[in-house]
Amino acid sequence: MSQSDRRIRLTEIDQQIPQLRLQLERIQGIESLTFPILKLPVEVTTEISVRCLPPCMPSRGIATSTPKLWPSLAFPASEPNTELLAARDHLLECWLARSGQYPLSFRVLELPHCDQRQVGRPCLRLLLEHSAQWRRIEIRMKLPGIRRALEAVKPPILLDFPRLEHLRIGAGGYESEDLGELRLLGPALQLRSIHLTLRRRPRELGFDFGGTGISWSQLTNRTPVPSG
């Protein structure tokens, strides 16, 4: 670029500066109108927030007492330490209490590097106590963890799944040829979709769906997928 071209370019920029300043002032004016509270001192903003607490508390109460707002949740089957495990179980208890009798949808995921002895418990018992509300369920855990969690449910809970429509299970991590029988379900007459991700056929693993009370003809989607 020649020297004359630079002069021309600088002249053009100088001519644009007043217009850009005017646009900036307009934007700043709009922002000050939209968020005037940002110009207040922190002490004043704090006092406003404190005075708003009483009317906000009823709104929070409405939210926590409306089951329709708490129909679904995803959480880990275990945690790296006991503190996180206790926090997870407390969260689950709060969620189940707030959901009332509303149909539940949840995902249980087994995370790596967790204490395998604690996988699935006691959260599974909490969930099984609300089995009548289950609707869409996904469980991704190693088979030994599922078995240990079910065996830890004592005394046995009478299971009933009148609302269950969709069940997805991803199980792996087993070596023994003799895994015994694993009864996964009670009556589930509304079940329409089953998706299993396993290394072998369900019967070879001891999965027993005989207690569901369903016929395979009522399913609109059934997908047994060997994982390897």
Residues 131-184 pLDDT 10s: 889 999 888 877 666 766 666 665 566 677 889 898 887 766 554 433 444 455
pLDDT band, very low/low/confident/very high, at 104 (cuts 50, 70, 90): very high
Identify the helix (H) or strand (E) that includes residue 95: helix 82-99
* pLDDT of the residue at 185: 58
* pLDDT of the residue at 219: 62
* pLDDT of the residue at 60: 82
Sheet holding 134-140, edge to edge: 72-76, 104-109, 134-140, 166-170, 193-198, 221-226
Decide if pLDDT at 103 tops 90: yes
* pLDDT of the residue at 179: 42
Distances, alpha carbon 165 to alpha carbons 133, 150, 158, 183, in Å = 11, 21, 19, 18
Please give the average per-residue pLDDT across 115-122, as a whole number.
58
Q: In terms of Cα–Cα distance, which of 102, 106, 103, 82 is closest to 92?
A: 106
Asked if 114 and 88 count as a contact pair (C-beta separation under 8 A), the reply is no
Write the pLDDT tens digit of every residue in 41-97: 889 888 888 888 887 888 888 888 899 889 898 887 776 677 887 888 888 899 999
The percent of residues in the chain predicted with pLDDT above 70, rounded, is 64
What is the pTM assigned to this prediction?
0.60
